[in-house]
Structure 1
Amino acid sequence: MTRFVIRLLINSLALWLTTLIVAGVSVRSYADDTLATVVTYLLVGLIFGVVNAIIGNTIRILAFPLYILTLGLIALVVNGLLLLLVAWISDLIGFGLEVDGFWWGVLGAIVLGLLSWLIGVLVRPILGRRQR
């Protein structure tokens, strides 16, 4: 459970940083105060984690030959489409992630993946000390 919460926080922080870096990716909060914005980022991070875990892994398994054929470059397209899917799901709720187009989704997915990885690398030594 702790690992799930940590991944959720890492994804939400990476998503927030992505919206600051990439102009075509933004998050629309359900209210104007700070707490509502934080909850919105956490909800979008949760949606992103669930979509990536279920649909993303299924696509990666089924399209494994395509990944080999394209030397992994298809992952950029798949991650961009998954980010667009998260935007569509959060739009159904009425607030959340907004992506301006496919290429903004691809760029946002690249930045989001890099930031999530970097934050995970930075957090890992801190968590390793607490578990001992």
Structure 2
Amino acid sequence: MRILLAIVLNACALGAAALLLPGIGVEGAGDEIGMVLLAYLFVGAVFGIINAVIKPILSFLALPITCLTLGLFAVVINAAMLMLTGWITSFFPVQFVVDSFFWDAILGAIIVSLVSALLGRFLVEPAARAA
């Protein structure tokens, strides 16, 4: 159940980034709302797997740079995870597209982080307290 909630939260955060930034989006899903929702759920699952497997390794290797920049390099790592998600989904019929690294991926990483933090705060913690 926790994995499904994480996929939905990732999909919502990626959808918010795609809504706010014209350089981020999903291609190959068609125009039907159901197909677009399924595409974002698929991309959210891929993004979650990348964040669970590759991001901790990359964060550990970049720890000195992250400390020197007082944590700002974490935004660059998150942007790299968005770009990696776009590259991995390019092998599937539904593709997550990030046009440029500097503005689209960096701003997208900030938006995804903020939306994930807010949704996690209001959706995950109340459910944990109720259980």
Alignment match, 2:123: 123
Alignment match, 1:42: 41
Following superposition, the deviation at residue 56 of structure 1 comes to 0.6
Q: What pairs up with 1:92-107 in 2 under 5 angstroms?
A: 92-103=91-102, 104-107=104-107
Cα deviation per residue 1:35-70 (whole Å; 9 max; x = unaligned)? 211111010000000111111111011221221112
TM-score w.r.t. length of structure 1:
0.90
Determine if contact 1:28/1:98 at 8 Å carries over to the other structure. Answer: yes
Structure 1 unaligned regions, length at least 5: none
State how far apart, in whole Å, the 2-side matches of 1:108 and 1:102 are: 10
Determine if contact 2:75/2:106 at 8 Å carries over to the other structure. Answer: yes
TM-score w.r.t. length of structure 2:
0.91
Structure 2 unaligned regions, length at least 5: none
Q: Letter of the 1:123 partner, please give it.
A: L
- C-alpha RMSD of the superposition: 1.4
Alignment match, 2:67: 68
Task: Report the number of matched residues.
Answer: 130
Determine if contact 2:28/2:93 at 8 Å carries over to the other structure. Answer: no
State how far apart, in whole Å, the 2-side matches of 1:3 and 1:61 are: 25
Identity over aligned pairs, percent: 34
